[in-house]
Amino acid sequence: MASLSEFHLLSVLAQEMNMRKAAERLFVSQPALSQRLQNIEKEWGSRLFVRSQKGLSLTPAGEIVIQFVNEVISGEEKVKESIQALNSEVYGTLKIAVASIVGQNWLPQVLKKFVKKYPQAKISLVTGWSSEILKSLYEDHVHIGIIRGTPDWKGVKIPLFKDSLYLVDTEIEETEQILETDRPFIQFKSDSNYYQEIQDWWLRKFKTPPKRTIVVDQIETCKQMTFNGIGYAILPAITLNGLEKNIFKIPLLDEDNLPIKRDTWLLGYESAFQLKQVQAFVELIKEHIEEEQVK
């Protein structure tokens, strides 16, 4: 049976599919890596990789072995995390998946405090839409996720904060002026539940779609286009720091004339919350929110 170090070697090769890049990541020479691979293949009794001018490709046997290798490495990480959880110090890797808008506008302040307070801990961070975050949690790729909206989640679910939605523009001071303007409504691509929330408000308010629409991929692009007077947008308060100049912000109201707000939640399985690095992160988040509320 191959050793764990050889499993890691195979994992890197499968990720890179290139001998030179894999050798660089493993800090060995290509001839040394090639020799080690040959020895491993002898142990398995089969070719695992095929070389070509384009790089490496897996053989059918290689696909089976790499699937096994990845399962072993994942199990190794979980065992290490469990052992580290027995210690009083916060070690290990904190694996987080975060909605992009939170990762860009709110999370950096929290991570700065976490890194300073727990220098021995490592952070693995991925961002995306809330639906992608839930997928990462379901597939057990991360310890915790931070998403927007109201989640359908059976595990641990901790509310973090709510932020209001605003119609933002350099010219429009009242929502009624939208019916008179020919300037475009700038929309950013988002999860369907956020999009539906905006659609419901819009149709309830105006009974007719916008005259002109510009759709962009990123919320930051939408924000900058709006701030530069290209058109108007609906943005959550999390993206607005209060220092915007010459910008009108009109709160969106529901049928009861109350501000429409977006929820932000922290999610995870019960087992993840047994880990020291997760517990430390959650406590630090709670402290951060309390500090922000006092300001």
Q: How does the average pLDDT of the chain come out, rounded?
A: 89
For residue 84, what pLDDT is reported? Answer: 67
The answer to whether the CB of 69 falls within 8 A of the CB of 15 is: no
For residue 249, what pLDDT is reported? Answer: 93
The answer to whether the CB of 37 falls within 8 A of the CB of 2 is: no
Residue pLDDT, tens place only, 257-266: 999 999 999 9
Residue 88 has pLDDT above 60, yes or no: no
CA atoms of 190 and 129, how far apart (whole Å): 7
CA atoms of 265 and 160, how far apart (whole Å): 5
State the average pLDDT over residues 144-148: 94
Residue 114 has pLDDT above 90, yes or no: yes
Residue pLDDT, tens place only, 207-225: 888 889 999 988 889 999 9
Nearest to 143 by CA among 87, 76, 88, 77: 77
**Confidence bin at 230 (pLDDT 50/70/90):** very high
Residue 179 has pLDDT above 90, yes or no: no
**By 3-state DSSP, what share of the chain in percent is helix, strand and coil, each rounded to 5?**
50, 25, 30
Residue 80 has pLDDT above 80, yes or no: no
For residue 46, what pLDDT is reported? Answer: 92
State the average pLDDT over residues 13-18: 92
For residue 258, what pLDDT is reported? Answer: 93
Residue 134 has pLDDT above 60, yes or no: yes
Q: Which domains does the chain have, with CATH numbers?
A: 4-77 (1.10.10.10), 93-158+263-294 (3.40.190.10), 163-262 (3.40.190.290)
Which residues make beta-bridge pairs with 185?
Answer: 213, 232
Alpha helices in the chain (DSSP H): 4-16, 19-26, 30-44, 60-85, 100-105, 107-117, 130-138, 192-206, 219-227, 276-294
Percentage of residues in the chain with pLDDT exceeding 90? 57
State the average pLDDT over residues 68-80: 85
Whether the predicted model's global pTM rises above the 0.85 cut: no
For residue 147, what pLDDT is reported? Answer: 93
For residue 195, what pLDDT is reported? Answer: 83
